[in-house]
Amino acid sequence: MAFEIVYQDITTMKTDGIVNAANTQLQQGGGVCGAIFRAAGARELQAACDQIGSCEIGEAVITPGFHLPASFVIHTVGPIWQGGNAREAELLASAYRSSLTLSQERGLTSLAFPLISAGIYGYPKEEAKNIAIETIEEFLQHQEMDVFLVLLP
């Protein structure tokens, strides 16, 4: 199993699951979140999210992928950047770990991540990428899974 950084649209990834950089209320947002909702079928995905209700920062929940090539969507909430002194790095790493753990528990063998918190949540992109890489590689030292970090082309 492997880890790879790819440059493409996450909604076209043919993996068992893709990760949505969600908000705590699991409501359709903009950016990557909005694209995932639109590609999955916004009404169906929102109904599935509404049944779950909410998700805490650093945690993850799962829904079907509906019309996506991926069978599942893992929704995780990253931190909003507040300058780096509000446990942002810890919470961001937790969002990646929670997503990976939930995927493994559900039997997924491949997972695609966006760069969590680096869009409207303002996390510095290079720092967010380093945390993503470090957390994913640490997980893969002990687990078997194909993981992709999907960046915009």
Question: In this structure, how many other beta carbons lie within 10 angstroms of the beta carbon of residue 74?
Answer: 28
Confidence (pLDDT) at 55: 98
Q: To the nearest whole number, what is the mean pLDDT of the chain?
A: 97
- Write out residues in the chain with pLDDT < 70, as ranges: 1
CA gap 32, 2 in Å, rounded: 24
Interval 70-113: pLDDT, tens = 999 999 999 999 999 999 999 999 999 999 999 999 999 999 99
Confidence (pLDDT) at 152: 83
Question: In this structure, how many other beta carbons lie within 10 angstroms of the beta carbon of residue 32?
Answer: 25
State the CATH number of the domain containing residue 84: 3.40.220.10
Instruction: Residue 34: give the domain boundaries.
Output: 3-151
Number of structural domains (the chain) is 1
